[in-house]
Amino acid sequence: ETGVTQSPTHLIKTRGQQVTLRCSSQSGHNTVSWYQQALGQGPQFIFQYYREEENGRGNFPPRFSGLQFPNYSSELNVNALELDDSALYLCASSLGGAENIQYFGAGTRLSVL
């Protein structure tokens, strides 16, 4: 049990819609990272938030955006959903640092029809 919780667990949307995914970080962790995991692939880094500021971003378009709140929980927002956005979205929390040890939630399975 990592203490990282994500909601909802499953979500079905149609192309063009918008979606918000939520994550509560493990107690004491001030850094949250979001990843997209397509079927049969390893997770791909979307972005990271540290103390409510974006702290790094992967190769994802601007329609992927996020927020971090004062209690270190976080949201991932995706606008103008495309079919290829169907994936497992993972949130990971950490204390940062060079070793970057991250603890993952169970993920949100998003299906775009």
Partner 1 sequence: TQLLEQSPQFLSIQEGENLTVYCNSSSVFSSLQWYRQEPGEGPVLLVTVVTGGEVKKLKRLTFQFGDARKDSSLHITAAQTGDTGLYLCAGAPVLGGSQGNLIFGKGTKLSVKP
Question: Most distant CA pair in the chain: distance in Å?
Answer: 40
Residues 81-100 that bind partner 1 (CB under 8 A): 90, 92, 96, 98-100
Gap between the terminal Cα atoms of the chain: 32
Residues 1-30 that bind partner 1 (CB under 8 A): 2, 4, 6
In angstroms, the CA 50 to CA 43 distance is 20
Inter-CA distances, 51 with 19, 31, 33, 43, 103, Å? 23, 7, 12, 23, 17
Which listed residue (93, 102, 110, 112) binds partner 1 by CB under 8 A?
102
Which listed residue (3, 8, 16, 56) binds partner 1 by CB under 8 A?
56
Q: CB under 8 A: which stretch of 12-20, 49-57, 66-74, 75-83 binds partner 1?
A: 49-57
Report in angstroms how near the CB of residue 99 gets to partner 1 at its nearest: 4
In angstroms, the CA 92 to CA 61 distance is 20
Residue 47 in the binding site for partner 1 (CB under 8 A): yes
Q: Which stretches of the chain bind partner 1, using CB under 8 A?
A: 2, 4, 6, 31, 33, 35, 40-45, 47-48, 50, 55-58, 90, 92, 96, 98-107, 109
